[in-house]
Amino acid sequence: MKIKIGVIGTGYVGLVTAVCLAELGHQVVGTDVVKEKIDFALAGRPHIYEPGLEELLQKNLKRGNLNFYHDLDKTIQDSDVLFVCVSTPQLADGRADMTYVEGVSRRIADNLNSYKLIVEKSTVPVRTSAWIKRVINLYRKNAENYDVASNPEFLREGSAVHDFLNPDRIIIGVESEKAEKILCQIYQKFADKILVTNIDTAELIKHASNSFLAMKISFINLISELCEKTEADVELVARGMGLDPRIGPQFLKAGVGYGGSCFPKDVRALIHIGEEMGVDFSLLKEVDKINTRRIYIFVNKVKQVLWVLREKKIAVLGLSFKPQTDDIRNAPSIEVIRELKKEGAYLRLYDPQAIANMKKIFPEQEPDLVYCPSAYEALEGANAGLIITEWPEFQNLDLRKVETIMSNPILIDGRNIFEPAEVRKMGFEYYSIGRK
Ligand code: UDX
Ligand code: UDX
């Protein structure tokens, strides 16, 4: 029997989930509280930038097995399986805000017209499934059967479609045979990648994985601080470490730190979960602290190089939290811009995708903060150029041209995208992370 899938919340995670589940051949309806997102999706235009998403959205809309409603109740009533992908933002004290997950759980209780499998896709604290069941049992109007399951997402922004369709693992946290059977059927194409656990285990795998990756990044960033005090080169330290298959080369790139909607939030959520359960996660408090101070280390480097920042023209290349996305949530660029604005610098900002999102935080304001249509225009007349996000186009800049258009050929590279010797040969003063 054809499983009817509802995806609740079509943001970065939900929209990719809806489109890719349809691509797997399932009957999918996406819904979101923001009507504009539904209208965009129905028009075949994702409201977010994600490589490959637009083509698959249009293909599956045309195929007829993908639809979008601006009607949560109807979506719930029409579906057998509900993937919950609503926001779980971070509260001031580090806890995940479960308001939206609770709200959706109540609406599911109101619309239990048949058996439903409720699947947590959003990154949620361990024990959330117990709360979802409690809410549904409190508010449901009938005795219709239902199950809750956890199927955490491991999508990296900028490669989310690829990651969904080429998973390393599919974690299925269930507490009934029926739920297991349904989810194994949904993911039958990846049968060899499925790991079935109980729900607590599945919920924890997600937080533990993200926190471990964040820890790896903070570790190499801490090592880069030591490299700056010695003759060591952090890129070679990372390469040397990564040759050990137990360590591996990935997520050992020193820079201005990690951002995004997951690492900062998931690290703090796990710290908080630990506090609630009486487990001391000081280790992750250090991970978070090391990451936060990356900004100030970088801004101090700019100050050391330029001395006075007031009215200095500074090009900021890269605003998104990482390449291949328009997402600026917790992007290092935000705090760097804030600190440089405090010093009275004249900022010229450029990013291939994220300018529209950054304008919502820092509106254009001549001459203090100007958005430029290209990296070259940002660098025109600049006293220094900062690399904050390693978009490939920055690596391919014509540095001879850059050297002639800048007022002072000074590059401060927050992501080590250039080779120091090469850039200096072209006449630049060049500074980077964890190396001379
Ligand atoms: C979010 C969480 O941040 C992440 O931890 C979780 O894994 C998945 O959901 P993301 O998709 O990046 O990740 O967030 P966002 O782009 O904000 O998408 C959430 C969507 O849910 C938004 O489109 C929002 O409009 C929608 N939403 C939120 C609802 O449809 N209903 C609600 O009640 C609340
Ligand atoms: C991450 C996880 O990779 C993904 O599995 C999970 O589902 C969601 O969170 P994402 O946040 O989209 O994905 O991007 P990721 O590629 O992990 O980068 C996260 C941040 O770490 C970025 O700001 C990136 O610049 C930074 N980073 C990454 C480093 O600073 N150094 C590295 O070596 C790798």
**Tokens describing residue 435:** 């190396």
Confidence of residue 95 (pLDDT cuts 50, 70, 90): confident
Q: Share the mean pLDDT of the chain.
A: 96
Q: Which of 167, 169, 116, 109 is nearest to 138 (CA)?
A: 109
Rounded to the nearest angstrom, the distance between the alpha carbon of 101 and the centre of ligand 1 is 10
Confidence of residue 2 (pLDDT cuts 50, 70, 90): confident
Same domain, 117 and 61: yes
d(CA 37, CA 48): 9
Confidence of residue 125 (pLDDT cuts 50, 70, 90): confident
Cα dihedral sign for 297, 300, 302, 305?
negative
Summarised one tens digit per residue, pLDDT across range 376-425 is 999 999 999 999 999 999 999 999 999 999 999 999 999 999 999 999 99
Would you say the CB of residue 100 lies under 6 angstroms from ligand 1? Answer: yes
Matching residue, tokens 């195929």: 63
Confidence of residue 52 (pLDDT cuts 50, 70, 90): very high
pLDDT of residue 126: 84
Cα dihedral sign for 281, 282, 285, 286?
negative
Task: Determine the 3-state secondary structure of 250 from DSSP.
Answer: coil
Matching residue, tokens 């964040």: 214
The pTM assigned to this predicted structure is 0.94
Would you say the CB of residue 11 lies under 6 angstroms from ligand 1? Answer: yes
Confidence of residue 252 (pLDDT cuts 50, 70, 90): very high
Confidence of residue 263 (pLDDT cuts 50, 70, 90): very high
d(CA 393, CA 178): 49
Question: Which DSSP helix (H) or strand (E) runs through 80?
Answer: none
CA distance to 86, 259, 285, per residue, from 211 (Å): 21, 13, 11
Would you say the CB of residue 9 lies under 6 angstroms from ligand 1? Answer: yes
Would you say the CB of residue 262 lies under 6 angstroms from ligand 2? Answer: yes
Q: Which of 123, 211, 213, 250 to mutate to test the pocket of ligand 2 (most atoms within 8 A of CB)?
A: 213
Would you say the CB of residue 153 lies under 6 angstroms from ligand 1? Answer: yes
d(CA 321, CA 414): 12
264 pLDDT higher than 80: yes
Same domain, 150 and 297: no
Same domain, 175 and 308: no
Summarised one tens digit per residue, pLDDT across range 301-345 is 999 999 999 999 999 999 999 999 999 999 999 999 999 999 999
User: What is the count of structural domains for the chain?
Assistant: 2
pLDDT of residue 154: 93
Which of 157, 180, 197 finishes a domain? 197
d(CA 244, CA 424): 32
93 pLDDT higher than 90: no
pLDDT of residue 94: 83
Same domain, 434 and 285: yes
d(CA 261, CA 329): 6
- Numbers of helices and strands, H then E, in the chain: 18, 14
| Protein residue whose Cα sits closest to atom 9 of ligand 1 | 87
231 pLDDT higher than 90: yes
Q: CA geometry: angle at 53 spanning 12 and 42, to 5°? A: 85
If one compares 219 and 122, the residue with the highest pLDDT of the two is 219
Summarised one tens digit per residue, pLDDT across range 164-201 is 999 999 999 999 999 999 999 999 999 999 999 999 99
Q: Which of 209, 250, 258 to mutate to test the pocket of ligand 2 (most atoms within 8 A of CB)?
A: 258
Cα dihedral sign for 272, 277, 278, 283?
negative
**Tokens describing residue 339:** 């600190």
Same domain, 152 and 217: no
Q: Which ligand is nearest to the CA of 18?
A: 1
pLDDT of residue 135: 97
The set of residues, in sequence order, having a beta carbon less than 8 Å from that of 343 and lying 6+ positions away, is: 303, 309, 310
1 pLDDT higher than 80: no
| Protein residue whose Cα sits closest to atom 1 of ligand 1 | 87
* Mean pLDDT, residues 240-265 taken together: 97
Same domain, 95 and 16: yes
Same domain, 234 and 100: no
Q: Which ligand is nearest to the CA of 99?
A: 1
Domain that holds residue 57: 4-197
Same domain, 32 and 126: yes
Alpha helix (H) residue ranges in 307-391: 332-342, 355-359, 375-379
Task: Determine the 3-state secondary structure of 241 from DSSP.
Answer: helix
Task: Give yes or no for a cis peptide into 167 (omega within 30° of 0).
Answer: no
d(CA 26, CA 5): 7
Contact indicator for 69, 31 with CB cutoff of 8 Å: yes
Task: Determine the 3-state secondary structure of 67 from DSSP.
Answer: strand
DSSP summary character for residue 149: E
Rounded to the nearest angstrom, the distance between the alpha carbon of 13 and the centre of ligand 1 is 7
d(CA 26, CA 181): 15
Task: Determine the 3-state secondary structure of 319 from DSSP.
Answer: coil
d(CA 237, CA 252): 9
Q: Which ligand is nearest to the CA of 257?
A: 2
d(CA 56, CA 79): 22
Would you say the CB of residue 260 lies under 6 angstroms from ligand 2? Answer: yes
Same domain, 405 and 300: yes
Would you say the CB of residue 434 lies under 6 angstroms from ligand 2? Answer: no
Summarised one tens digit per residue, pLDDT across range 138-149 is 999 988 999 999
Summarised one tens digit per residue, pLDDT across range 55-92 is 999 999 999 999 999 999 999 999 999 999 999 988 88
Work out the burial of residue 399: count CB atoms within 10 Å of its CB; fewer than 13 is exposed, 13-18 middle, 19 or more buried. middle
Same domain, 226 and 251: yes
d(CA 9, CA 135): 19
Matching residue, tokens 């194409």: 189
Which of 163, 197, 231 finishes a domain? 197
Which of 197, 223, 253 finishes a domain? 197
Q: Residue 37 belongs to a domain with what CATH number?
A: 3.40.50.720
Same domain, 116 and 153: yes
Rounded to the nearest angstrom, the distance between the alpha carbon of 388 and the centre of ligand 2 is 14
Same domain, 65 and 210: no
| Protein residue whose Cα sits closest to atom 17 of ligand 1 | 87
**Tokens describing residue 114:** 């048949």
**Residues with active-site annotation:** 262
Contact indicator for 39, 59 with CB cutoff of 8 Å: no
